[in-house]
A and B are shown apart, each in its own frame.
Chain A
Amino acid sequence: MPETHSEPHLQHHFVALEQQQEASTLGMWAFLITEIMFFGGLFTLFTAYVSAYSEAFAEGSRHLDLVLGAVNTVVLIGSSFTMAMAVRSAQLGKRKALLGFLALTTLLGCAFLGIKGIEYAHKFKQRLLPGPAFRVDSPASQHVQLFFSFYFAMTGLHALHMVVGVGLMTWLLFHGWRGRFTPTYFWPVELSGLYWHFVDIVWIFLFPVLYLVARHS
């Protein structure tokens, strides 16, 4: 062996911890870019259809619960703040604060999913789930159904990302509780934070596009 490293978290193929951290950040961003393109495709399709069937999409949008959508936006923005504070606590080596902020983030993430579940249940009851049972009193009912296909596909995929995020938080809580994160090794918290904020950004666009924009088009 040419040299031995004193830093236990430094992998042998990196020169220094800083280089390793830079590489993991870039790797995470490369993954997030594929996610941007993934959700971007759905947003592009939605925009193309909303320009073709603006009346029907506006009608579909008016069926959505603006209050629950807005509350969920606030919940998710709040969770992004607690996540950012969790990363800060990890950087400073404050274990108790880290666990507290991670728990808050998990709680807010679950609250978001719960509210989304209430919204979905309402839509199922109102027969707004695309399929043979779909009923809307409208001459353009087929295109209103298309709006709801987008609604369920986009919010469903977003909710799936939230479930993965809550899983990540649970994993971080476990290792944080065991005291694995230190000011030199907080990268798992930072990278999970990048993922969490990305999922928040997707909702920052989903909320106006589904709940607000279509109302006036």
Chain B
Amino acid sequence: MTPHIVSTKIYVLVLAALLALTALTVAASFYDLGGGRLHYANAVTALTIAVSKATLVVLYFMHVRYSSHLTWVFVGAGVFWLLVLIGLTLSDVLTRGWLPSPGPWSS
């Protein structure tokens, strides 16, 4: 397997996309996207953009798109365990107020 050499054109396109997404996420932060009702609308928007940017960096700048399946398994395992870490922790923290007992969490 000889290393894949990515063309300059693709690198420039990825750079342009990353800069455009940065401008988009800054612009979006000035608006209340949930209209005062949807509490998490701004957070979801900003994180969706961040995940898109990270995916572009991993696939093209870090060459994962052109790497072996074993590399994909390694990267996927990292992301999976990160989601377990965040998901299981938040499934506890964010649901503590759902049931009346055993009282408030914060002092």
Contacts and interface: CB of A to CB of B under 8 A. Distances in A.
Chain A interface helix/strand/loop/mixed: helix
B71 A81 contact: no
A116 interface: no
Interface string B2-42: 11011010011011001100100110110011100001101
A51 B94 contact: yes
Given A25-B67, A44-B85, A85-B11, A204 B6 contact: no
Interface size class of A (residues with CB under 8 A): 35 or more
Interface string A39-67: 01101100110011100000000000010
Chain B interface helix/strand/loop/mixed: helix
Interface of A: 18, 21-22, 25-26, 29-30, 32-33, 36-37, 40-41, 43-44, 47-48, 51-53, 66, 70, 73-74, 77-78, 80-81, 83-85, 88, 91-92, 190, 193-194, 197-198, 200-201, 204-205, 207-209, 211-213, 215-217
Interface of B: 1-3, 5-6, 8, 11-12, 14-15, 18-19, 22, 25-26, 28-29, 32-34, 39-40, 42-43, 46-47, 49-50, 53-54, 57-58, 60-63, 67-68, 70-71, 74-75, 77-79, 81-82, 85-86, 89-90, 93-94, 105-106
